[in-house]
Chains A and B, each alone.
Chain A
Amino acid sequence: MIVDAVSWVLLTLGGFSVLIGGIGALRMPDLYTRMHAASVTDSLGTMLVLAGVILQAGFTLAAVKLAATLIFLLFTSPTAANALASAALMAGINPGLATPWRQEPRS
């Protein structure tokens, strides 16, 4: 019962972070900030959802497999985000927010 409740809290939080990541990926001003938002979906969202599903599965083989997937994602998704960001930097995409990225006339 408690396990079920915890699992649903984790699942809801996971879904919420995926939603936030999606909104961020659409609304953020430049590539790096968009990636920052999108990587929340990858890392935090997926992990919370997987943790919730593991609690739903209980002590079964499925839970072990899900845990292996979780550990795999724990390593790969931040690495992928890092690789993407450094590739963008190598390709010469300027982190726009360091300098004023959009010159708007001040009134």
Chain B
Amino acid sequence: MTVFIIIFLLTLLVITALAIVQTSNLFAAAMLAGIFSLISAMTFFLLDAADVALTEAAVGAGISTVLFLGALALTADHERAGTAGRLIALVVVTAIAAVLIYTTFDMPRLGDPNAPSQLHVAPWYLEKTPEYIDVPNVVTAVLASFRGYDTLGETFVVFTAGIGVLFLLGKAPVGQPKLSPAMTFAGKAGLRHYQIPRVVGRLLIPFILLFALYVQFHGDYGPGGGFQAGVIVAASIVLFALLEGEERALQALPAGLLKLLAAAGALLYGFTGVACMLLGGEFLNYSVLAHDPVHGQHYGILIIEAGVGFTVTGVLISIFHSFAARGAK
């Protein structure tokens, strides 16, 4: 049964991908990209990768679509017809596709117990997680503790990407008078004249934030963690900004605070590692943070997940505001 649903979803995925390529309306393409992410999230979930599915749904279908729309508000919403270099592009794409299809022949079958990914360190992680870290969600244990260096790197990638976008979009263009912060598709006052979305949105925002906290702090037990929670917080603030207008969102969370949050999260993660070193362990070895090594791991995971959440929240809301501040075309 699951196989049939997965085949159905994969078919839909291909159809959506073809539709994205086919359409010249960029607005429709952004929406289709959101649908594409949502279908991928469903496929991931059916393959028992709940953490990845949650991330894909929150990032791909949620916040990226909003950022795409923000970018489209600054440019045209139709693709310019270009014919230059069509042939070269076709040759490159065909070659890459051929290589990719060729490599799939060497891939192990789904769920093959002899696949390299099942034989290398995965059994050790599964076996030792109860002993060393003792959290039910092994994904969190691997992500935050065993492979803490990788996640530190990812957090700094998010932080660096945020800085890059702020450098490109953070200041109004030279010569153009500074526009009042207004999202072109929301207007200066947000959706004030849309009563029903405003009322329902205001009603939902506290619950979205509550759900974000649940995802943040329940990551040890179920799917979730700092990345997903940060995206959900950012989504609720974006919703607030769309409903009530940019200015009120910036009053609630000033731009400076958001930048501070983004930097503080990454630093919190790094300093946790340094604190471990000062207490006599290795960098990011949380076992030394408490008397009991297992409790130390719990504290460490909690702190670094909070750091990841801060950074993702700060970066995403800053990016949204920097798009919005560019104003009308």
Which residue numbers of A lie inside 8 Å of B, CB to CB?
A: 72, 75-76, 79, 82-83, 86
Contact = CB atoms under 8 A, between A and B. Distances in A.
B189 to A, nearest CB: 14
B196 A76 contact: no
Contacts of B203: 75
B190 to A, nearest CB: 13
Contacts of B197: 79, 82-83
Interface string B158-199: 000000000000000000000000000000000100101100
Interface in B263-291: none
B204 interface: yes
B107 interface: no
Contacts of A76: 200, 204
B268 to A, nearest CB: 31
A83 B195 CA distance: 10
18 contacts: A72-B204, A72-B207, A75-B200, A75-B203, A75-B204, A76-B200, A76-B204, A79-B196, A79-B197, A79-B200, A79-B201, A82-B196, A82-B197, A83-B191, A83-B194, A83-B196, A83-B197, A86-B194
Mostly, the B contact residues are: helix
Contacts of A72: 204, 207
Given A75-B203, A82-B197, 4 more contacts: A75-B204, A79-B197, A83-B191, A83-B196
A79 B201 CA distance: 9
B30 to A, nearest CB: 15
Contacts of A75: 200, 203-204
B146 to A, nearest CB: 29
Contacts of B196: 79, 82-83
A79 B196 CA distance: 7
Contacts of A83: 191, 194, 196-197
A72 B206 CA distance: 13
A82 B200 CA distance: 11
B240 to A, nearest CB: 15
A82 B196 CA distance: 8
B164 to A, nearest CB: 32
Contacts of B191: 83
B81 to A, nearest CB: 24
A20 B250 CA distance: 44
Interface in B201-220: 201, 203-204, 207
Contacts of A82: 196-197
Q: Which one of B191, B200, B204, B207 has the highest number of Cβ atoms from chain A below 10 Å of its Cβ?
A: B200
B104 to A, nearest CB: 34
Contacts of A79: 196-197, 200-201
A74 to B, nearest CB: 10
- The 5 lowest CB-CB distance pairs between A and B, nearest first, are A79-B200, A83-B197, A82-B196, A75-B200, A79-B197
Nearest to A75: B200
Contacts of B201: 79
Nearest to B191: A83
A39 to B, nearest CB: 13
A79 B203 CA distance: 12
B31 to A, nearest CB: 12
Contacts of B200: 75-76, 79
A76 B200 CA distance: 7
A86 B196 CA distance: 10
A7 B196 CA distance: 32
A80 B194 CA distance: 12
Q: Which one of A72, A75, A79, A86 has the highest number of Cβ atoms from chain B below 10 Å of its Cβ?
A: A79
B66 to A, nearest CB: 14
A79 B191 CA distance: 13
